[in-house]
Amino acid sequence: MQTQETMSVLTSPPSLPLVAPSILSADFARLGQECRKVIESGADLLHLDVMDGHFVPNLTMGPALCKSLHTMLPDVYLDVHLMVERPMEYIDSFAGAGTNLFTGHVEADDDPFELAKTIHNAGMDAGLAINPPTDVEEILPYVEAFDLILVMSVNPGFSGQAFIPEVLSKVETISKRLRPDQRLQMDGGVGPKTCESCRDAGCDVLVAASAIFGTDNYAEAIAGLRGH
Ligand code: DX5
Ligand code: ZN
Protein backbone atom coordinates (compact mmCIF):
# COMPACT_ATOMS: atom_id res chain seq x y z
CA MET A 1 0.00 0.00 0.00
CA GLN A 2 1.63 3.29 1.07
CA THR A 3 5.36 3.47 0.50
CA GLN A 4 7.73 5.67 2.51
CA GLU A 5 7.76 8.16 -0.33
CA THR A 6 4.00 8.45 -0.88
CA MET A 7 3.22 8.68 2.85
CA SER A 8 5.40 11.72 3.28
CA VAL A 9 3.77 13.97 0.67
CA LEU A 10 1.22 15.68 2.94
CA THR A 11 3.24 15.83 6.15
CA SER A 12 6.72 16.32 4.63
CA PRO A 13 5.98 18.10 1.36
CA PRO A 14 8.99 18.85 -0.88
CA SER A 15 7.68 22.43 -0.99
CA LEU A 16 4.32 24.14 -0.70
CA PRO A 17 1.92 24.50 -2.35
CA LEU A 18 1.57 20.96 -3.66
CA VAL A 19 0.08 20.70 -7.16
CA ALA A 20 -2.44 17.92 -7.72
CA PRO A 21 -3.62 17.39 -11.31
CA SER A 22 -7.19 16.08 -11.44
CA ILE A 23 -7.23 13.36 -14.08
CA LEU A 24 -10.85 14.16 -14.92
CA SER A 25 -9.67 16.30 -17.83
CA ALA A 26 -7.03 13.82 -19.04
CA ASP A 27 -7.43 11.85 -22.26
CA PHE A 28 -8.91 8.64 -20.79
CA ALA A 29 -7.80 6.62 -23.82
CA ARG A 30 -4.19 7.46 -22.90
CA LEU A 31 -4.59 7.74 -19.14
CA GLY A 32 -1.41 5.94 -18.03
CA GLN A 33 0.83 8.01 -20.30
CA GLU A 34 -0.97 11.22 -19.28
CA CYS A 35 -0.43 10.47 -15.57
CA ARG A 36 3.23 9.64 -16.07
CA LYS A 37 3.64 12.84 -18.06
CA VAL A 38 2.14 15.16 -15.40
CA ILE A 39 4.30 13.56 -12.70
CA GLU A 40 7.42 13.98 -14.86
CA SER A 41 6.31 17.59 -15.43
CA GLY A 42 6.48 18.35 -11.70
CA ALA A 43 3.12 17.33 -10.21
CA ASP A 44 3.31 16.19 -6.58
CA LEU A 45 0.36 13.79 -6.56
CA LEU A 46 -2.64 12.69 -8.63
CA HIS A 47 -6.23 13.67 -7.81
CA LEU A 48 -8.94 11.15 -8.77
CA ASP A 49 -12.57 12.33 -8.81
CA VAL A 50 -15.02 9.57 -7.93
CA MET A 51 -18.68 10.38 -8.63
CA ASP A 52 -21.69 8.16 -7.99
CA GLY A 53 -24.43 9.83 -10.06
CA HIS A 54 -26.38 10.63 -6.83
CA PHE A 55 -24.26 12.99 -4.73
CA VAL A 56 -23.37 14.73 -8.00
CA PRO A 57 -24.98 14.37 -11.44
CA ASN A 58 -22.07 12.54 -13.09
CA LEU A 59 -20.38 9.12 -13.14
CA THR A 60 -16.64 8.73 -13.33
CA MET A 61 -14.17 6.19 -11.97
CA GLY A 62 -13.77 3.56 -9.25
CA PRO A 63 -11.20 1.44 -7.40
CA ALA A 64 -10.20 -0.62 -10.46
CA LEU A 65 -8.84 2.44 -12.20
CA CYS A 66 -7.07 3.54 -9.03
CA LYS A 67 -5.45 0.11 -8.76
CA SER A 68 -4.19 0.24 -12.34
CA LEU A 69 -2.61 3.64 -11.76
CA HIS A 70 -1.05 2.45 -8.50
CA THR A 71 0.44 -0.58 -10.27
CA MET A 72 1.86 1.59 -13.03
CA LEU A 73 3.09 4.41 -10.73
CA PRO A 74 3.60 2.78 -7.30
CA ASP A 75 5.48 5.74 -5.78
CA VAL A 76 2.88 8.33 -6.76
CA TYR A 77 0.58 9.59 -4.00
CA LEU A 78 -3.03 8.95 -5.00
CA ASP A 79 -5.57 11.48 -3.70
CA VAL A 80 -9.10 10.12 -4.13
CA HIS A 81 -11.94 12.65 -3.83
CA LEU A 82 -15.24 10.86 -3.28
CA MET A 83 -18.32 12.75 -4.37
CA VAL A 84 -20.63 9.96 -3.21
CA GLU A 85 -23.48 9.69 -0.73
CA ARG A 86 -21.91 6.99 1.46
CA PRO A 87 -18.12 7.24 1.37
CA MET A 88 -17.73 4.69 4.22
CA GLU A 89 -18.85 1.92 1.85
CA TYR A 90 -15.81 2.45 -0.38
CA ILE A 91 -13.01 2.71 2.19
CA ASP A 92 -11.80 -0.90 2.00
CA SER A 93 -11.91 -1.14 -1.77
CA PHE A 94 -9.94 2.08 -2.27
CA ALA A 95 -7.44 1.16 0.47
CA GLY A 96 -6.85 -2.13 -1.35
CA ALA A 97 -6.40 -0.25 -4.63
CA GLY A 98 -3.42 1.77 -3.37
CA THR A 99 -5.18 4.98 -2.36
CA ASN A 100 -3.10 7.25 -0.10
CA LEU A 101 -5.64 9.98 0.70
CA PHE A 102 -9.37 9.26 0.94
CA THR A 103 -11.54 12.40 1.01
CA GLY A 104 -15.28 12.30 1.69
CA HIS A 105 -17.75 15.19 1.94
CA VAL A 106 -19.20 16.76 5.07
CA GLU A 107 -22.53 16.87 3.15
CA ALA A 108 -22.53 13.08 2.64
CA ASP A 109 -24.57 10.75 4.85
CA ASP A 110 -21.75 9.36 7.01
CA ASP A 111 -20.58 10.75 10.36
CA PRO A 112 -17.26 12.58 9.73
CA PHE A 113 -15.59 11.39 12.97
CA GLU A 114 -16.45 7.78 12.14
CA LEU A 115 -15.26 8.37 8.58
CA ALA A 116 -11.86 9.72 9.71
CA LYS A 117 -11.36 6.84 12.14
CA THR A 118 -12.22 4.18 9.58
CA ILE A 119 -10.01 5.76 6.90
CA HIS A 120 -7.07 5.89 9.30
CA ASN A 121 -7.65 2.30 10.41
CA ALA A 122 -7.48 1.29 6.75
CA GLY A 123 -4.01 2.88 6.52
CA MET A 124 -4.88 5.99 4.49
CA ASP A 125 -4.71 9.71 5.12
CA ALA A 126 -8.16 11.22 5.69
CA GLY A 127 -9.67 14.26 3.98
CA LEU A 128 -12.98 16.10 4.44
CA ALA A 129 -14.49 18.30 1.72
CA ILE A 130 -17.03 21.12 1.86
CA ASN A 131 -19.18 22.33 -1.04
CA PRO A 132 -19.59 26.03 -1.94
CA PRO A 133 -23.16 26.45 -0.57
CA THR A 134 -22.34 24.80 2.79
CA ASP A 135 -21.64 27.11 5.72
CA VAL A 136 -18.09 26.87 7.06
CA GLU A 137 -19.50 26.22 10.56
CA GLU A 138 -20.63 22.78 9.33
CA ILE A 139 -17.07 21.55 8.92
CA LEU A 140 -15.26 23.28 11.80
CA PRO A 141 -16.12 20.70 14.51
CA TYR A 142 -14.46 17.93 12.46
CA VAL A 143 -11.34 19.69 11.20
CA GLU A 144 -9.01 18.37 13.91
CA ALA A 145 -9.74 14.73 12.96
CA PHE A 146 -8.54 15.04 9.36
CA ASP A 147 -5.17 15.30 7.60
CA LEU A 148 -6.56 17.54 4.87
CA ILE A 149 -9.55 19.82 4.40
CA LEU A 150 -10.81 20.34 0.85
CA VAL A 151 -12.66 23.55 0.08
CA MET A 152 -14.61 23.17 -3.18
CA SER A 153 -14.50 26.27 -5.34
CA VAL A 154 -17.07 24.99 -7.84
CA ASN A 155 -20.21 22.93 -7.32
CA PRO A 156 -18.76 19.46 -7.84
CA GLY A 157 -19.58 17.23 -10.79
CA PHE A 158 -17.60 18.53 -13.75
CA SER A 159 -14.27 20.04 -14.59
CA GLY A 160 -13.97 23.31 -16.51
CA GLN A 161 -16.35 25.37 -14.35
CA ALA A 162 -15.76 28.96 -13.18
CA PHE A 163 -14.11 29.57 -9.80
CA ILE A 164 -16.46 30.83 -7.06
CA PRO A 165 -14.43 33.55 -5.25
CA GLU A 166 -16.78 33.70 -2.24
CA VAL A 167 -15.25 30.45 -0.92
CA LEU A 168 -11.94 32.19 -0.17
CA SER A 169 -13.27 33.53 3.13
CA LYS A 170 -13.96 29.90 4.12
CA VAL A 171 -10.32 29.06 3.45
CA GLU A 172 -9.18 31.88 5.71
CA THR A 173 -11.45 30.71 8.54
CA ILE A 174 -10.35 27.08 8.27
CA SER A 175 -6.64 27.81 7.86
CA LYS A 176 -6.58 29.51 11.27
CA ARG A 177 -7.71 26.22 12.86
CA LEU A 178 -5.13 23.96 11.24
CA ARG A 179 -2.04 22.40 12.79
CA PRO A 180 1.20 22.66 10.78
CA ASP A 181 0.85 19.00 9.72
CA GLN A 182 -2.62 19.53 8.20
CA ARG A 183 -3.13 20.62 4.61
CA LEU A 184 -5.78 22.83 3.00
CA GLN A 185 -6.80 21.95 -0.54
CA MET A 186 -8.70 23.98 -3.15
CA ASP A 187 -10.50 22.25 -6.01
CA GLY A 188 -12.45 23.74 -8.92
CA GLY A 189 -11.64 26.47 -11.39
CA VAL A 190 -8.06 26.77 -10.11
CA GLY A 191 -5.91 28.19 -12.91
CA PRO A 192 -3.58 31.02 -13.91
CA LYS A 193 -6.09 33.74 -12.96
CA THR A 194 -7.21 32.28 -9.62
CA CYS A 195 -4.23 30.39 -8.17
CA GLU A 196 -2.61 33.40 -6.55
CA SER A 197 -5.70 34.26 -4.51
CA CYS A 198 -5.95 30.59 -3.42
CA ARG A 199 -2.33 30.58 -2.26
CA ASP A 200 -2.71 33.97 -0.55
CA ALA A 201 -5.79 32.77 1.32
CA GLY A 202 -3.83 29.83 2.77
CA CYS A 203 -4.34 26.90 0.38
CA ASP A 204 -1.33 24.62 0.20
CA VAL A 205 -2.65 21.88 -2.12
CA LEU A 206 -4.00 23.09 -5.47
CA VAL A 207 -6.10 20.77 -7.62
CA ALA A 208 -6.46 21.57 -11.31
CA ALA A 209 -7.89 19.58 -14.20
CA SER A 210 -8.50 21.83 -17.20
CA ALA A 211 -5.74 24.31 -16.29
CA ILE A 212 -3.20 21.48 -16.68
CA PHE A 213 -4.63 18.88 -19.09
CA GLY A 214 -6.14 21.60 -21.28
CA THR A 215 -2.71 23.01 -22.09
CA ASP A 216 0.08 21.66 -24.27
CA ASN A 217 2.81 22.39 -21.70
CA TYR A 218 2.10 20.61 -18.41
CA ALA A 219 5.39 21.69 -16.78
CA GLU A 220 4.65 25.36 -17.43
CA ALA A 221 1.06 25.02 -16.18
CA ILE A 222 2.19 23.25 -12.98
CA ALA A 223 4.95 25.78 -12.28
CA GLY A 224 2.47 28.60 -12.82
CA LEU A 225 0.03 27.13 -10.29
CA ARG A 226 2.80 26.62 -7.77
CA GLY A 227 3.93 30.22 -8.21
CA HIS A 228 7.66 29.52 -7.95
C1 DX5 B 1 -15.09 18.82 -9.68
C2 DX5 B 1 -13.90 17.95 -9.33
C3 DX5 B 1 -12.63 18.66 -9.65
C4 DX5 B 1 -12.50 18.98 -11.11
C5 DX5 B 1 -11.67 20.22 -11.27
O6 DX5 B 1 -16.24 18.19 -9.36
O7 DX5 B 1 -13.89 17.63 -7.95
O8 DX5 B 1 -11.50 17.96 -9.16
O9 DX5 B 1 -11.96 17.93 -11.86
O10 DX5 B 1 -11.69 20.62 -12.59
P11 DX5 B 1 -11.18 22.07 -13.04
O12 DX5 B 1 -9.79 22.25 -12.47
O13 DX5 B 1 -11.20 22.03 -14.52
O14 DX5 B 1 -12.15 23.05 -12.46
ZN1 ZN C 1 -11.91 16.84 -7.03
Residue 17: is the preceding peptide bond cis (ω within 30°)? yes
Instruction: Give me the residue spans of the domains in the chain.
Output: 4-226
CB distance 160 to ligand 1 below 6 Å: yes
Tens digit of pLDDT for each residue in 121-130? 999 999 999 9
Residue nearest ligand 1's atom 6 by CA: 156
Q: Ligand 1 center to residue 22 CA distance, Å?
A: 6
- For 50, residues 6+ apart whose C-beta sits below 8 A from its C-beta are 60, 61, 62, 80, 81, 82, 83, 84, 90
Q: How far is CA 58 from the centre of its chain?
A: 17
- Phi-psi domain of 151 (left: phi exceeds 0; alpha: psi -120 through 50; beta: other): beta
3-state secondary structure at position 132: coil
Kindly tell me if the per-residue pLDDT of 99 is higher than 90: yes
3-state secondary structure at position 88: helix
Give me the active site residues, please.
49, 187
CB distance 58 to ligand 1 below 6 Å: no
Query: CA 210, CA 143: separation in Å to the nearest integer?
Result: 29
Mean pLDDT (whole number) for 21-30: 98
**Quick one: pLDDT band at residue 5, thresholds 50, 70, 90?**
low
Mean pLDDT (whole number) for 122-150: 98
**Quick one: pLDDT band at residue 224, thresholds 50, 70, 90?**
very high
CB contact burial 117-149 (16+ within 10 A = b; e otherwise): ebbeebebbbbbbbbeebebeebeebbebbbbb
Mutate to test the pocket of ligand 1, among 19, 23, 24 (most ligand atoms within 8 A of CB): 24
Determine whether 115 is exposed, middle or buried from the number of CB atoms within 10 Å of its CB (0-12, 13-18, 19+): buried
CB distance 60 to ligand 1 below 6 Å: no
CATH of 4-226, one of 3.40.190.80, 3.40.50.261, 3.40.50.2300, 3.20.20.70: 3.20.20.70
Nearest-atom index, ligand 1, CA of 209: 12
Kindly tell me if the per-residue pLDDT of 1 is higher than 90: no
CB distance 189 to ligand 1 below 6 Å: yes
Is the distance from CB of 61 to CB of 48 less than 8 angstroms?
A: yes
- Phi first, then psi: give them for residue 67, nearest 5 degrees: -65, -40
Kindly tell me if the per-residue pLDDT of 2 is higher than 90: no
pTM exceeds 0.75:
yes
Note the ligand closest to the C-alpha atom of 189.
1
Q: Ligand 2 center to residue 129 CA distance, Å?
A: 9
CB distance 188 to ligand 1 below 6 Å: yes
- For 137, residues 6+ apart whose C-beta sits below 8 A from its C-beta are none
